[in-house]
């Protein structure tokens, strides 16, 4: 095999494809082949073993999990280099024709969780009773809660749940306390999305969500920053905890609902399949992932410069993960 | 009897050349004069009055200028060699040809002095008055009862279930089938024998009390015993219905009909009382046919 | 007789009601066809309305001075220098001819985003091929940047967001007025593989991928399907095993296509170790998927060959195999072809099973063989429909039109073949 | 020699064998007084020669091609110095890939260990030898086969029998492909299904009323129970398919009736293929249409009459899917209605029935088995459809009888589980296989039933 | 001649009851004794020797214990009412019944003293020796030349193209078709008229030089002129072939055959010289049939 094979996250896919295309255009190597399999699916393929039938690189919109690392190890994929390429903001947006929303993580949690603390008070959980935004906070519009988001099989959903929902959830002390006692119960409280209608699972097609927002002014949508950027004409993002999602606020980690994006390189394949190292290098040049790089044009939020420098250095050395950092 | 048979067989004993010669010398086509029918084609106060009828399939002329009257309560038989147009002519009488796209009918056809092919004429009503029985028994894949009740039902002839029962019973009786099926009226009609099926089709046709029944070779798919039963039935029906029957069996024509019409290549060559046609045909083609020189 | 009269009367009275029913029934039929055709019209207007702009490209034609100084390039024949040179610079210079006021960093940046990102590559490739052009002035046609293209094509369409600054919009307006920016038929669509930039993206890769995949599908499914149908119809003893095969085939026709993807993943990729994303595997999977359709329709076609022909041949002393090969097969061929084309049409539009065998991939290079990575038309449409960039919406619709053209021509081919092969008896 | 070149060569030789045997059989026939005195036509002796020379050679070629790689690989690997010897199978494949990339000039030999470069040389020479040997062997077999066939060109031998039996064998094999496919499908889902039932009890899977892969997405996420009940999925599938059929069956049937009974020939010739195009439109298009046009419309209408409707509804998906499957019903029904014997139609018309009465009372019941077949096909297409459902009906597994609610279907879940974020070994991903298996069994049962019903009907007619 | 006809018509003039009565009193079935055939069923040195033949369709017995010899170069006609088993019996002679799954044949059937139903017997060779012509003309949808040449080709009867041309020409000549088609041998056979098609089918059958030609109602789809031509042809062929012909026309049987066999509901009731059968039938069923009391 002489073509680099890349699998993994659908979130990273647009960035990786841009790099791959440039790489193919500007070098003599063939353009790498990219498959969008989702982060988990990609890691599964990636960790299945070494050899030409297995991919060389996998993208992930979340960090590799310990269990995945172990699977890799057990399948002989010993040395893996982790590359953190930047961040992605998850935005909550609605049609420009509607009122712009200002939300807090707590409000998001109350609006979308399956069970919420009893509004009448007390450390008790009840099935989510909120129908309208104004039920949660009188300052919010008196409109029904209606939010479209990705299905549980998507990494964006994972990240949203882990950052936004859990972020709002743990503000409640009695829930935060549970974390110490029963981790899985804590998670089930904070991570369960309501299934009674206001939250709509809309499939993995973010374009569809965007188009529906344009039509349906009462509905909010959850998706990646790049979709907001492309459609600024029709949709607007809500602020979260008072922060507007912009590249700067996301990079500076002021905007709370942001996550890091990664890819993982199989070291054993470097030097066997031509072009791997060169591709990785292309990805990690300032012209690509830097503050003015072309990835920014497609919506990547760059890492701070020092992180970029450090990562680039690790990449040069193909520094392998130990498993401890996960 | 022996006389005829010897005629036939002596024919068979002729040297081949001579036999072949005979047809070649006198090609059938040339003998017929179009539109001229010998015998008695007309009747006073006829049920059907058919004048200068021509039928075309696309360009091909299948019926060539035929004029004929069919009397009330008469049984008329159409005979003639294969492809001569018997079925085509028969199917003009209740406009069953309508369903063949390329078929066109010319001339004047009248039933009780009303034009059959009048564009304003209601085909449904016409067919309710002129019933038809086909060559191959074609019962609907339903129960025996439903087959017979089908016509009365669609025409709304019965107000009550008991009326319908009466119609079914009397039709089956007339068709001589009642005793054989009265215990299994709910059984499927397709499970009956060929002869029974054909009689069922007749019962179905008469259940709507038509004035005329057209039959196109109704016995050609039946064995002798079944045929006998159907013929018997025709004889009985002839009391109250006008019956037009196409048959390829001269014997059958002789047995059941009052009048016989001989068709040849789209022409109506001769019509006369059955006895007359079979004993002393006027036209030589008719004679050739009934003496078995062809067909 | 009186009975007949009164009956006739009843019949006549019932007629009005019955004819009303008849008319209503006819009306229902027409209405049904109307609804179906209306849906078709709505769908097609939707697709064409969204997609016709996909067939238009926006170009920007500039007189570029290939100045070595500006590009930091002394010798265009030296590959090392070519790697280091700046090919964006002459393009910006060319644009500055029109807008001399744009000199500061921000303006230059905005100016450089008028031409598409392939522009500098185009200059490089030109010099690489013809180093002697260094120092001359060339009139070059570039593709405009995507946001320029969206602006030019959809400025007055509210469902598109304009991503140009006020200043850029002014520039573009002027360039359009000057005829520097122009629109033309989008030949790029039919001459390139996929790209991340809508204006550079082409469907050729997917077309070739679809063709290769369909070839594999046809070459496998058609003979196997026909042979299987012949065996089942002509040779198989009528017993439980034949029944079992029949149920099996009917059932396979009902198995959701994604399950065939699982099969392909487990058997062809897992068991036989074939590579992912290649037309061979895609073709095999789709062949298995279409096989039942072909077998079922071929059997119907064989059944419809009149027994008289079979008898005629047998009566002369042809063996069973001769009867089949000399008479039944040629006469059944039109029907078999119809079934196969229907099956192929289904295969042509199929996405789900290909998701699992890796044919949903970003592949820029046009595939050059059965074992090179490829995608197919419906997958390309699916990918574009899910991309963030606005330009892909119209491309996806354009892709659908291409796919439909494929389908229609396949059907036309079927009708033509059938006409040619059909024999009357 | 490459397999790609060898293959045509074998075929050419087979053609030569054909020609030679043909000439020989004529020569043999000559003294006997013509080919009528041969047991079979010269064609059959020739065809037999071609088959005998090609088939064994092709089998050997196939075997060689499939084992060649392994053998050479082992030899090359064996030649590697101890420090480079691979530890694992994956390592081996990598090393091999590296060696062959070097051999193919895609990797610079200077950049790889010396042993590898050496092995690359060995690989090259082994490959050359192997292909030489392969060529010789295959060609030898071809020639031997042809020669044997040549000696067997004798007047009393029935070559036709031989050829026809071989053909029959090939035909049988093709028919068996259908069975092999079924086995393949079962094989590809059975292991994961068994593993799934190791994690989730089968009774819970079959009778559970709650489907929520969310709550059991990952072991470390939530360990809630009762999330794998297929009942909501099957009711969702049922509801959407039922709505689709409610649209497609009447429209399709009425269209078919009109086309076959009333429409003129040219109208029929135009409308039928037009309707068939509905089935050819990619489902993504339908998906967008359902989600952006139909679903909001339904919601607005529902709200207008005071009903509560989700913006994604089973109704929207079902309606659009119904349009998509119209041609399955209309085209197939049109065919079977035309196939109803003319005699039945005539029988009814001759009684004075109107066309619609004939249609409803006689033709339709007679065509029912065929129409059922078309509907069955339409239904299976509806069951298998995913894109429209995902876009228009959503992914929420509600156990509901309200068509205005959002529901999901079995195939949609299979697709999302398999193409989304996968979790090896988790019940979530394995569930996709179990769903696939269950669906396969359900359709199988449906088909056995359908066959039984059709058979029963067929006995009743004619 | 008039004598017979008067018999028939007098019959038709009987009152219905009496006619019906006649069949009921003497149900046809009871008169036949199984396996007993009156007349001359056997021959010395026969081409076919058929003994105790029984044919079953599933459970139904369509041929009931028939024994018959068919002589060399004789023309034998099978007559009998519809469904009596003529076709079934005929198709046993070259094993065309093999292709009907549910059909089983019992008894001993020999062609030139070799068992026809021997499992080791080569059907292909048998059928090359015993050719067949069917009721409906069934030319292959190929050119006229290819239709005739098909048999010689698959049997390898011609070494050269010119041999084949000769065979085609002589077969078409024998079938009396050569002059009509010699200028358009490449035209499609399906464009010919029915009579020409049937003669083509005969030419096709004799092109492989069979010893026997079986014909199942070869003229029933033809008009009288075409029929005459085919009969003429049969007469010519009878010089060199054994011909077995099924016909529903007694006249035709009388014209073309040397011997006639009368079948009734699966029984072979009577076989005798044609003259004998038609002038003085021995069995009363035969008599009823040929005098037209049924059929
Ligand atoms: N649907 C049709 N289309 C074209 N030609 C037809 C059609 N039906 C009949 N014909 C032609 O019309 C002529 C008369 O046919 P018709 O069926 O009336 O003959 P027939 O006397 O009933 O013959 P048979 O005794 O065989 O039933 C024939 O030459 C036949 O080929
Ligand atoms: N394929 C078959 N399956 C079952 N029964 C059959 C089959 N073919 C014929 N029969 C039955 O066998 C009996 C004899 O049929 P056969 O066709 O031999 O009669 P026939 O004398 O040739 O009649 P016809 O003059 O109508 O051609 C009939 O009762 C018929 O129903
Ligand atoms: Mg007729
Ligand atoms: Mg017969
Ligand atoms: O594809 P994901 O980025 O959603 O895992």
Confidence (pLDDT) at E31: 58
Contact status, residue E197 vs residue E188, Cβ threshold 8 Å = no
The confidence score (pLDDT) of residue D80 equals: 78
Same domain, C285 and C371: yes
DSSP string computed for D76-109: HHHHS-GGG--SSHHHHHHHHHHHHHHHTTSS-G
Tell me: pLDDT of A314 over 70.
yes
Per-residue pLDDT reduced to its tens digit, D324-333: 999 888 888 8
What mean pLDDT is predicted for residues D6-26? 88
Q: What pLDDT sits at residue B23?
A: 39
Selected residue with higher pLDDT from A102 and A151: A102
User: Which of D157, D187, D205 is where one domain is finished?
Assistant: D157
Say if residue D233 is in the same domain as residue D118. Answer: no
pLDDT of residue C424: 52
Q: Ligand 5 within 6 A of A38 CB?
A: yes
CA of B64 to the centre of ligand 1 (A): 13
Q: Identify whether C199 is part of a domain.
A: no
Q: Which residue has the tokens 């003293």?
A: E113
Distance CA(B244)–CA(B260), nearest Å, equals: 10
Beta-bridged to residue A82, according to DSSP, are A264
D284 shares a domain with D393? yes
Last residue of a domain, which of D131, D157, D183? D157
Window 16-55 of C, Cβ < 8 Å to B: 18-19
Distance of alpha carbon E68 from alpha carbon A63, whole angstroms: 94
Are E270 and E37 in contact, with CB atoms under 8 Å apart?
yes
In angstroms, what separates the C-alpha of C14 from chain B's closest C-alpha?
Answer: 6
Ligand 2 centre to CA of B264 (Å) is 30
- What atom of ligand 5 comes closest to residue A36's alpha carbon? 1
D209 in a domain, yes or no? no
Same domain as C164, residue C38: no
The radius of gyration computed from the CA coordinates of chain B, to the nearest angstrom, equals 20
Residue D196 lies in a domain: no
Give the H/E segment covering residue B111.
strand B103-111
Question: Do the beta carbons of residue D444 and residue C259 sit within 8 Å?
Answer: no
Considering the domain architecture, whether residues C392 and C243 belong to the same structural domain is answered as: yes
Q: Structural domain tally of chain B?
A: 1
Chain E and chain A touch, per 3+ beta carbon pairs within 8 A: no
Contact in structure between D252 and C14 (CB atoms under 8 Å): no
Asked if B101 and D347 come within 8 Å (Cβ–Cβ), the reply is no
Res D366: pLDDT: 83
Mark yes or no for CB contact E140/C314 under 8 Å. Answer: no
Residues C164 and C98 in one domain: yes
Contact B291, E249 (CB under 8 A): no
Give Cα separations from D219 to A47, A151, A184, C176, D435 (angstroms). Answer: 19, 18, 9, 59, 20
Strand, coil or helix: E139: coil
CB C134 within 8 A of CB C166: no
Note whether C127 and C11 are same-domain residues. Answer: no
Q: What CATH number is given to the structural domain containing D428?
A: 1.10.3720.10
Domain co-membership, C242 together with C359: yes
Partners of A229 on chain C (C-beta within 8 Å) are: 388
Q: How many domains is chain C built from?
A: 3
Q: Specify the pTM.
A: 0.84
Whether residue C67 is found in the same domain as residue C179: yes
* The pLDDT of residue D208 is above 50: yes
- Domain assignment of residue D249, given as a range: 227-461
| Averaged pLDDT score across all residues of chain C | 86
Question: Given 3-state DSSP classes, what are the helix, strand and coil percentages for chain E, each rounded to the nearest 5?
Answer: 40, 25, 35
pLDDT of residue D242: 93
Which atom of ligand 5 has the smallest separation from the CA of A59?
Answer: 3
Share above pLDDT 90 across residues of chain B, in percent, rounded to a whole number:
32
**Taking CB atoms and an 8 Å limit, are C32 and D255 in contact across chains?**
yes
- Asked which of A129-138, B145-154, D199-208, D228-237 is least confident by mean pLDDT, the reply is D199-208
D202 in any annotated domain: no
> Which residues of chain D neighbour A159 with C-beta distances below 8 Å?
none
Q: Is there a domain that residue B57 lies in? A: yes
Which H or E run contains C335? helix C329-348
Task: Please tell me the predicted confidence (pLDDT) of residue E294.
Answer: 63
Q: Is C5 exposed, middle or buried (0-12, 13-18, 19+ CB in 10 A)?
A: exposed
Using alpha carbons only, what angle is made at residue E110 by residues E105 and E113, rounded to the nearest 5 degrees? 160
In the block, tokens 């006549």 appear at C12
Residue contact D440–C255, C-beta within 8 A? yes
Q: Of B85, B89, B93, whose CA–CA distance to B116 is shortest? A: B93
**What is the rounded distance in angstroms from the CA atom of residue A190 to the CA atom of residue A113?**
7
For residue C69, being part of any structural domain is answered with: yes
What percent of chain C is modeled with pLDDT above 90?
20
pLDDT of B12: 40
**Mean pLDDT calculated for residue range D365-372:** 82
Helix then strand then coil, in percent of chain A rounded to 5, is 40, 20, 40
Mark yes or no for CB contact C158/A232 under 8 Å.
no
pLDDT at B13: 42
Report the number of secondary-structure helices (H) and strands (E) in chain C: 18, 4
Q: Closest to B8 (Cβ–Cβ): which among E3, E12, E251?
A: E251
Residue A10, ligand 5, Cβ within 6 A: yes
In whole angstroms, give the CA distance from residue D321 to residue D249.
12
Same domain? C229 vs C314: yes
Give the DSSP H/E element, type plus range, for residue E49.
strand E48-57
Residue D422 has what pLDDT? 63
- Please list every residue in chain E whose beta carbon sits closer than 8 Å to the beta carbon of residue C321: none
Interface test with A, best of C196, C273, C275 (most A CBs within 10 A): C196
Q: Which of E278, E282, E290 to substitute to test the interface with B, most B CBs within 10 Å?
A: E278
pLDDT band at B26 (very low <50, low <70, confident <90, very high): very low
For C57-67, letters b (16+ CB in 10 Å) and e give bbbbbbebbbe
Of C230, C250, C256, the CB nearest to D447: C250
Helix axes E194-206, C307-316, angle to 10 degrees: 30
With b meaning 16 or more CB within 10 Å and e meaning fewer, what string describes A195-216? bebbbbbbbbbbbbbbbbbbbb
Average pLDDT over residues C161-190: 89
Answer whether B43 contacts ligand 1 (Cβ < 6 A).
no
Chain A CB contacts of D416 below 8 Å: 151, 153, 203-204
In this structure, what DSSP letter does residue C235 have?
I
DSSP strand pairing (B60-70 vs E259-264): unpaired
If you write DSSP's letter for every residue of C139-201 in order, what string do you get?
A: EEEEEBPHHHHHHHHHTT-TTS---S-HHHHHHHHHHHHHTSEEEEE-GGGGT----SSGGG-
Q: What is the pLDDT of residues C314-332, one digit of tens each?
A: 888 888 899 999 999 988 8
pLDDT, residue E107, reads 92
Half-sphere exposure of E54 (CA within 13 A, CB side): 12
**Nearest CA residue ID for atom 4, ligand 5:** A155
C-alpha Rg value of chain C to the nearest Å: 31
Is there a single domain that holds both residue D231 and residue D152?
Answer: no
Residue ranges in B175-283 assigned as alpha helix (H):
178-181, 194-206, 224-237, 250-256, 274-279
Residue D216 lies in a domain: no
Pocket test for ligand 5, best of A37, A63, A156, A227 (most atoms within 8 A of CB): A156
Select from B101, B141, B155 the Cβ nearest to the Cβ of D352.
B155
| Paired tokens of E3 | 């004598």
Q: Is the CB of B87 under 6 A from ligand 1?
A: yes
Asked whether D421 lines ligand 5 (CB < 6 A), one says yes
**Residue A139 CB contacts under 8 Å (≥ 6 apart), including other chains:** none
End-to-end CA distance of chain A: 32
Is D166 part of any domain?
Answer: no
Q: How far apart are CA B284 and CA B271, in angstroms?
A: 13
Between β-strands E103-111 and E114-115, what pairing exists: parallel, antiparallel or unpaired?
antiparallel
Percent of chain E with pLDDT over 70: 88
Q: Which chains touch C (3 or more CB pairs under 8 A)?
A: A, B, D, E
Give the domain range for residue C8.
2-52
Report yes or no on E191 lying in a domain.
Answer: no
| Residues of chain A positioned with their CB less than 8 A from the CB of C199 | none
Residue B162 forms part of a structural domain:
no
Instruction: Give the H or E element holding residue B57.
Output: strand B48-57
Give the structural domain span for E265: 41-141+210-291
Residue E254 lies in a domain: yes
CATH number, domain with residue B124: 3.40.50.300
Q: Which of D157, D190, D216 is the last residue of a domain?
A: D157
Reported as a single tens digit per residue, the pLDDT across D173-187 is: 998 888 888 888 888
Average pLDDT over residues E63-80: 91
Q: HEC profile for E244-290?
A: EEECCCHHHHHHHCCEEEEEECCEEEEEEEHHHHHHCCCCHHHHHHH
CATH code, C346: 1.10.3720.10
B115-146 pLDDT, tens digit each: 999 988 888 889 989 999 988 888 888 889 99
Backbone dihedral angles phi then psi of residue E78, each to the nearest 5 degrees:
-105, 120
For residues C322 and C405, membership in a common domain is answered with yes
Block residue for tokens 């009897």: B1
Which residues are CB-contacts of E264 (< 8 A; sequence separation ≥ 6)? B224, E28, E32, E80, E81, E84, E285, E289
Q: Give the confidence band of B9 by pLDDT, cuts at 50, 70, 90.
A: very low
Residue D241: pLDDT above 80? Answer: yes
In a domain, D189, yes or no: no
Residues C170, C247: one domain?
Answer: no
**Do the Cβ atoms of C390 and A230 come within 8 Å?**
yes
Contact in structure between D13 and D143 (CB atoms under 8 Å):
yes
Structure ipTM: 0.82
Q: Do D222 and A51 touch (CB under 8 A)?
A: no
Helix (H) or strand (E) holding A222: strand A220-224
């Amino acid at each position: 095999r002489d073509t680099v094979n890349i699998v993994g996250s659908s979130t990273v896919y647009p960035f990786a494809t841009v790099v791959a295309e440039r790489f193919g255009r500007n070098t003599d190597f063939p353009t790498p082949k990219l498959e969008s399999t989702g982060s988990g699916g990609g890691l599964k393929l990636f960790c299945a073993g070494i050899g030409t039938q297995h991919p060389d690189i996998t993208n992930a919109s979340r960090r590799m999990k310990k269990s995945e690392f172990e699977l890799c190890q057990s399948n002989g994929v010993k040395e893996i280099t982790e590359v953190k390429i930047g961040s992605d903001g998850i935005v909550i947006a609605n049609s420009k024709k509607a009122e712009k929303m200002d939300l807090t993580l707590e409000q998001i949690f109350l609006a979308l969780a399956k069970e919420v603390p009893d509004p009448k008070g007390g450390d008790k959980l009840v099935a989510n009773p909120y129908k309208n935004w104004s039920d949660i906070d009188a300052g919010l519009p008196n409109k029904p809660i209606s939010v479209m988001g990705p299905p549980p099989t998507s990494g964006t959903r994972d990240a949203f749940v882990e950052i936004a929902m859990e972020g709002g959830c743990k503000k409640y002390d009695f829930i935060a306390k549970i974390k110490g006692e029963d981790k899985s119960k804590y998670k089930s409280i904070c991570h369960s999305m309501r299934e009674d209608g206001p939250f709509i699972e809309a499939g993995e097609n973010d374009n569809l969500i965007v188009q529906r927002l344009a039509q349906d002014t009462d509905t909010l949508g959850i998706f990646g920053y790049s979709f907001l950027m492309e459609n600024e004409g029709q949709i607007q993002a809500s602020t979260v905890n008072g922060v507007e999602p912009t590249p700067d606020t996301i990079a500076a980690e002021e905007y709370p609902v942001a996550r890091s994006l990664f890819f993982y390189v199989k070291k054993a394949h470097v030097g066997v399949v031509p072009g791997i190292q060169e591709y990785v290098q292309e990805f990690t040049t300032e012209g690509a992932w830097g503050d003015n790089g072309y990835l920014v044009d497609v919506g990547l939020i760059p890492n701070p410069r020092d992180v970029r420098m450090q990562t680039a250095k690790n990449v040069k050395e193909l520094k392998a993960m130990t498993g401890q950092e996960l | 009897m022996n006389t005829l048979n010897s005629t036939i067989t002596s024919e068979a004993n002729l040297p081949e050349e001579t036999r072949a010669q005979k047809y070649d010398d006198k090609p059938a086509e040339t003998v017929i004069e179009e539109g001229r029918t010998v015998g008695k084609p007309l009747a006073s106060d006829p049920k059907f009055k058919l004048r200068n009828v021509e039928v075309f399939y696309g360009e091909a002329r299948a019926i060539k200028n035929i004029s004929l009257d069919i009397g009330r309560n008469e049984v008329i038989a159409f005979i003639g060699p294969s492809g001569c147009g018997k079925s085509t002519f028969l199917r003009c009488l209740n406009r069953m040809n309508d369903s063949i796209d390329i078929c066109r009918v010319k001339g004047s056809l009248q039933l009780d002095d009303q034009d059959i092919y009048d564009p304003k004429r209601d085909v449904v009503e016409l067919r309710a008055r002129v019933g038809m029985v086909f060559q191959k028994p074609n019962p609907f894949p339903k129960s025996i009862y439903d087959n017979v009740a089908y016509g009365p039902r669609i025409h709304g002839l019965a107000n009550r279930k008991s009326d319908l029962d009466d119609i079914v019973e009397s039709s089956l009786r007339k068709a001589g089938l009642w005793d054989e099926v009265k215990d299994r009226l709910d059984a499927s009609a397709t499970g009956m024998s060929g002869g029974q099926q054909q009689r069922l089709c007749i019962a179905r046709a008469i259940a709507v009390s038509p004035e005329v029944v057209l039959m196109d070779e109704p016995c050609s798919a039946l064995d002798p015993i079944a045929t006998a039963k159907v013929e018997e039935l025709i004889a009985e029906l002839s009391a109250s219905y006008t019956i037009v029957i196409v048959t390829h069996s001269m014997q059958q024509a002789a047995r059941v009909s009052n009048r016989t019409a001989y068709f040849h290549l789209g022409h109506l060559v001769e019509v006369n009382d059955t006895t007359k046609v079979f004993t002393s045909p006027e036209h030589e083609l008719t004679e050739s046919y009934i003496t078995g020189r062809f067909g | 007789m009186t009975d007949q009269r009164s009956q006739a009367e009843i019949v006549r009275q019932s007629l009005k009601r019955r004819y009303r029913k008849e008319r209503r029934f006819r009306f229902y039929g027409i209405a049904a066809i109307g609804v179906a055709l209306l849906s078709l019209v709505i769908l097609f207007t939707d697709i064409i309305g969204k997609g016709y702009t996909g067939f238009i490209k926006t170009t920007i034609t500039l007189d570029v001075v290939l100045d070595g100084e500006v590009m930091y390039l002394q010798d265009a024949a030296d590959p090392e220098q070519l790697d280091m040179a700046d090919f964006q610079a002459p393009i910006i210079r060319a644009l500055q001819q029109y807008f001399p006021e744009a000199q500061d960093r921000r303006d230059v940046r905005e100016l450089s985003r008028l031409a598409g990102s392939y522009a500098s590559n185009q200059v490089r490739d030109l010099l690489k091929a013809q180093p002697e052009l260094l120092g001359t002035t060339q009139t070059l046609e570039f593709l405009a940047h995507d946001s320029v293209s969206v602006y030019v094509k959809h400025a007055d369409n509210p469902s598109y967001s304009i991503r140009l600054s006020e200043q850029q919009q002014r520039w573009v307006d002027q360039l359009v007025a000057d005829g520097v920016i122009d629109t033309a038929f989008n030949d790029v669509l039919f001459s390139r593989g996929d790209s991340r930039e809508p204006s550079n993206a082409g469907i050729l890769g997917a077309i070739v991928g679809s063709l290769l995949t369909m070839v594999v599908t046809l070459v496998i499914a058609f003979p196997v399907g026909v042979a299987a149908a012949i065996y089942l119809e002509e040779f198989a003893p009528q017993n439980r095993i034949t029944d079992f095969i029949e149920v099996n085939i009917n059932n396979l026709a009902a198995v959701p296509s994604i399950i065939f993807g699982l099969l392909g993943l487990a058997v062809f990729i897992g068991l036989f170790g074939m590579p992912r994303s290649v037309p061979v595997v895609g073709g095999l999977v789709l062949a298995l998927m279409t096989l039942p359709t072909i077998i079922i329709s071929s059997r119907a076609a064989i059944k419809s060959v009149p027994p008289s022909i079979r008898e005629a041949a047998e009566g002369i002393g042809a063996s069973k195999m001769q009867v089949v090969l000399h008479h039944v097969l040629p006469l059944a061929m039109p029907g078999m072809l119809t079934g196969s084309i229907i099956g192929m049409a289904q295969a042509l539009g199929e996405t789900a099973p290909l998701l699992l065998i890796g044919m949903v991939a970003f592949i820029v290079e046009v595939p050059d063989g059965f074992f090179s990575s490829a995608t197919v038309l419906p997958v390309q449409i699916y990918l574009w429909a899910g991309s963030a960039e606005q330009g892909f919406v119209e491309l996806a619709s354009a892709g659908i039109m291409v796919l439909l053209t494929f389908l229609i021509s396949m059907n036309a081919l079927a009708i033509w073949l059938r006409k040619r092969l059909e024999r009357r008896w | 020699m490459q397999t790609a070149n060898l293959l045509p060569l074998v075929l050419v030789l087979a053609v030569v064998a054909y020609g030679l045997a043909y000439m020989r059989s004529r020569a043999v026939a000559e003294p006997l007084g013509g080919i009528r005195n041969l047991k079979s036509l010269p064609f059959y002796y020739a065809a037999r020669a071609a088959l005998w020379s090609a088939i064994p050679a092709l089998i050997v070629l196939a075997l060689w091609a499939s084992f060649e790689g392994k053998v050479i690989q082992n030899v090359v690997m064996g030649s590697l110095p101890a420090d480079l010897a691979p530890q694992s199978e994956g390592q081996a494949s990598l090393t091999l890939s590296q060696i062959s990339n070097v051999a193919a000039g895609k990797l610079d030999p200077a950049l790889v260990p010396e042993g590898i470069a050496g092995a690359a040389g060995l690989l090259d020479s082994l490959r050359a030898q192997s292909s030489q040997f392969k060529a010789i062997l295959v060609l030898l077999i071809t020639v031997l086969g042809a020669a044997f066939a040549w000696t067997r060109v004798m007047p009393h031998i029935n070559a036709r029998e031989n050829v026809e039996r071989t053909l029959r064998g090939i035909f049988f094999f093709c028919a068996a492909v259908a069975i092999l496919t079924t086995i393949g499908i079962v094989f590809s889902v059975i292991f994961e299904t068994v593993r799934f039932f190791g994690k989730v009890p089968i009774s819970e899977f079959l009778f559970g009323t709650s489907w929520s892969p969310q709550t059991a997405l990952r072991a470390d996420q939530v360990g809630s129970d009762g999330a794998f009940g297929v009942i909501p999925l099957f009711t969702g599938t049922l509801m959407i398919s039922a709505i689709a059929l409610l649209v497609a069956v009447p429209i399709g049937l009425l269209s078919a009736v009109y086309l076959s009974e009333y429409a003129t020939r040219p109208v029929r010739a135009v409308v039928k293929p037009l309707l068939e195009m509905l089935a050819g439109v990619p489902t993504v298009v339908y998906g967008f249409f359902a989600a952006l046009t139909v679903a909001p419309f339904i919601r607005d209408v529902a709200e207008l009459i005071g009903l509560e409707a989700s913006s994604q509804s089973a109704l929207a998906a079902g309606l659009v899917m119904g349009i998509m499957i119209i041609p399955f019903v209309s085209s197939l029904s049109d065919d079977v209605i035309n196939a109803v014997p003319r005699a039945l139609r005539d029988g009814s018309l001759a009684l004075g029935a109107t066309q619609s009465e004939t249609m409803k009372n006689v033709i339709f019941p007679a065509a029912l088995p065929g129409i059922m077949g078309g509907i069955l096909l339409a239904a299976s297409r509806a069951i298998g459809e995913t894109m429209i459902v995902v876009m228009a009906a959503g992914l929420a597994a509600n156990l509901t009888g309200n068509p205005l609610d959002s529901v999901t279907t079995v195939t949609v879940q299979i697709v999302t589980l398999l193409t989304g974020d996968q979790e090896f070994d988790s019940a979530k991903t394995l569930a996709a296989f179990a769903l696939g298996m269950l669906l396969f069994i359900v359709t199988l049962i449906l088909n056995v039933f359908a066959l039984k019903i059709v058979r029963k009907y067929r006995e009743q007619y004619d």
